[in-house]
Amino acid sequence: MLHQPYPCLWFNGQAKEAAEFYCSIFKDARLVSENPMVVIFELNGAKFMALNGGPHYQFTPANSYVITCNTQEEIDHYWEKLGEGGKYSRCGWLDDKYGLSWQIVPSILSKLMENPEKSQKVVAAFMQMTKFDIQQLMDA
């Protein structure tokens, strides 16, 4: 049996609400099981546990989830849906309305960063961005 690790996300009574919110954003998503304490859900094949643990702990950007997007439309979708009611930051980072941090990143970024001559220009460009703009990165 393969023991696949998965994250447990700590909520203050909003575990099911949060799981339903995330499932509404991802195309391949579902609630797997639930009880008053724990909701298990999957997003694009990745398993998550949402725990109604109480007010003791809060999310921080020290733990974030990266979504790699192939198109600007995908970036726009996740940026708008996950950021709704939350807080936007620089360089593709946002905190959703529950305080969970996400990085919405274009898949082309790693390729652009491989070129030593271009990478400094790309970094300078994305340091000025909130939401990533693929065309601006490619033009840098």
Amino acid (1-letter code) at residue 47: K
Q: Any idea what the Cα angle at residue 48 is, between residues 14 and 3, rounded to 5°?
A: 150
HSE-up (13 A, CA, CB side) for residue 102: 26
What pLDDT score does 18 carry?
98
DSSP 138: H
100: exposed, middle or buried (C-beta count within 10 Å: 0-12, 13-18, 19+)? buried
Domain 1-55: which CATH number of 2.60.120.260, 1.10.10.10, 3.40.190.10, 3.10.180.10: 3.10.180.10
* 65-123: pLDDT as tens digits: 999 999 999 999 999 999 999 999 999 999 999 999 999 999 999 999 998 888 999 99
Residue 108 CB neighbours (<10 A): 17
Its pTM surpasses 0.85: yes
pLDDT band at residue 43 under the 50/70/90 scheme: very high
The SS3 of residue 93 is strand
Domain 59-140: which CATH number of 2.60.320.10, 3.10.180.10, 1.10.1060.10, 3.50.30.50: 3.10.180.10
